[in-house]
């Protein structure tokens, strides 16, 4: 099992290329199940989660080829021969549930294991199932699997109302509705850029969709979808993560491919903390305005609010801020597991339920720490950039699920960081 060793090394300088969005690509890949024609994705991130989704699609009979060093995914589902997504694959990644809607819409039947993923709190699939039931699906849950069957003649349009916003359930409903008979209206839909990106890809395949990016999406079902070539949107979470690197340890870094529109609420909090963000012709240039960051309060919310996937990284920044910051986590109830690890580095953090009070200290100290989930992994690396001495981040296999070549990217802008194999 590998570890990442980080040694505080002063300010950073240079450019970091931002990859395509993991969460967008994991949604776009199952869209191949909706058509017999080829679907090609450009700007794909090179991550273990993408490899897991590749394995899952191949197990269903889809052809998936990684080209151009993995940045291009060429897919075809012209010969699906299996409609069962097995537990051994699905347990590794929650996004696996996204094959359910497309298979059900295209062929009228699917068996999908209940999924796994990071242990950051309950993320039930009941909203996914409720959405498919609104389109006429008959569902049966037994022995850890969802058995789904469409009515005779296929899924039919309907009104899908989510009692609370769910990105994954919106994506599953959106894909299923493209081939449903009639019109589907999704109410209280998620508004994330990944939803917009999926709708754009589906529209290129021939789907009739309006309203993506708002809370109401309308889909007029079509008889069939065709192939398309689509460029995956920039990963706003990777973007925000690397924007925090110069904010934490000083210097100036340009994040290539970034735009403020992807991280507007995050940029507002950075501005309040004393971090300058400037849009350039090729991305976003980030630097600290003064020697020390100012404390700010943060509340995670669905898009366009502050992303829960940037909360851990923001906490790392605020550990050395002047004053006390209050972080309120409203998306997942178990997402402060990185706090005790940051405290091992000298941070002063009080956690009570879904609220964390971060009392800024002058300096963090390097220490051995353990990653508990994907975003916690990179938050500890960021903290290590600003800490005195050496920080060893253990259990970094989480990191490979969401960040490609993090060591190389940070080393290229001056960070002292390496990945080492441990016994």
User: Residues annotated in the binding site for UDP-N-acetyl-alpha-D-glucosamine, as ranges?
Assistant: 94, 123-127, 309, 331
Beta bridge partners of 327: 298, 356
Give dist(CA 371, CA 381) in Å, integer.
Answer: 10
Give dist(CA 38, CA 62) in Å, integer.
Answer: 10
Question: Structure tokens of 159?
Answer: 């009104």
**CB-based contact 393:403 (threshold 8 Å):** no
Nearest residue to 288 (alpha-carbon basis) of 270, 306, 307, 314:
270
Give dist(CA 358, CA 186) in Å, integer.
Answer: 39
Select which of 25, 118, 255, 267 is catalytic.
118
Binding site as annotated, residues = 22-23, 94, 123-127, 309, 331
The DSSP code sequence of 27-79 is HHGGGGGG-SS-EEEES----HHHHHHHHHHHHTT-EEEEETTTTEEEEE-TT
Distances (CA, A) of 47 to 21, 356, 402: 10, 31, 6
118 is catalytic: yes
* C-alpha gyration radius of the chain: 22
Give dist(CA 385, CA 4) in Å, integer.
Answer: 12
In the numeric block, the tokens 């021939």 are attached to: 206
The DSSP output letter for 330 is -
Q: What's the per-residue H, E or C state across 104-159?
A: HHHHCEEEEECCCCCCCCCCCCHHHHHHHHHCCCEEEEECCEEEEECCCCCCECCE
Binding site as annotated, residues for phosphoenolpyruvate = 22-23
Nearest residue to 338 (alpha-carbon basis) of 395, 288, 400:
395
Residue 160, helix vs strand vs coil? strand
Angle, vertex CA 174, rays to CA 233 and CA 116, nearest 5: 75
Active site residues: 118
């Amino acid at each position: 099992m590998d570890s990442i060793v980080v040694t505080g090394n002063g300010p950073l300088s240079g450019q970091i290329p931002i990859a395509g969005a993991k969460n967008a690509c994991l949604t776009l890949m199952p869209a191949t199940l909706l058509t017999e024609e080829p679907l090609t994705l450009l700007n794909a991130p090179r991550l273990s989660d993408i490899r897991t989704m590749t394995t899952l699609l191949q197990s269903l009979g889809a052809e998936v080829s990684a080209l151009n060093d993995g940045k291009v995914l060429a897919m075809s589902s012209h010969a699906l021969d299996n409609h069962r997504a097995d537990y051994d694959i699905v347990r590794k990644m929650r996004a696996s549930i996204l094959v359910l809607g497309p298979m059900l819409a295209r062929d009228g039947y699917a068996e999908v294991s209940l999924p796994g993923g990071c242990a950051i709190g309950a993320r039930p699939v009941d909203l996914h199932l409720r959405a498919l039931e609104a389109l006429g699906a008959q569902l049966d849950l037994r022995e850890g699997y969802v058995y789904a069957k469409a009515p005779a003649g296929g899924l039919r349009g309907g009104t899908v109302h989510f009692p609370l916003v769910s990105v994954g359930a919106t994506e599953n409903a959106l894909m299923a509705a493209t081939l449903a008979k009639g019109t589907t209206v999704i109410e209280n839909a998620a508004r994330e850029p990944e939803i917009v990106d999926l709708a754009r890809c589906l529209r290129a395949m021939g789907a009739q969709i309006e309203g993506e990016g708002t809370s109401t999406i309308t889909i007029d079902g079509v008889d069939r979808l065709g192939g398309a070539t689509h460029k995956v949107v920039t990963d706003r979470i990777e973007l925000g993560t690397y924007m925090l690197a110069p904010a934490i340890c000083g210097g100036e870094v340009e994040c290539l491919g970034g735009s403020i529109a992807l991280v507007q609420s995050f940029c507002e909090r950075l501005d309040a903390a004393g971090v300058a963000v400037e849009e350039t012709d090729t991305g976003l240039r980030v630097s600290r305005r003064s020697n020390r960051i100012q404390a700010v309060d943060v509340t995670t919310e669905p898009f366009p609010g502050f992303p829960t996937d940037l909360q851990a990284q923001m906490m790392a920044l605020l550990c050395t801020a002047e004053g006390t910051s209050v972080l309120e986590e409203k998306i997942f109830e178990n997402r402060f597991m990185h706090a005790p690890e940051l405290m091992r580095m000298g941070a002063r953090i009080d956690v009570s339920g879904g609220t964390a009070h971060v009392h800024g200290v002058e300096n963090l100290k390097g220490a051995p720490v353990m990653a508990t989930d994907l975003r916690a992994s990179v938050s500890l690396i960021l903290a290590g950039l600003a800490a005195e001495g050496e920080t060893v981040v253990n259990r970094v296999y989480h990191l490979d699920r969401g960040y490609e070549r993090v060591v190389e990217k940070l080393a290229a802008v001056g960070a002292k960081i390496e990945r080492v194999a441990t016994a």
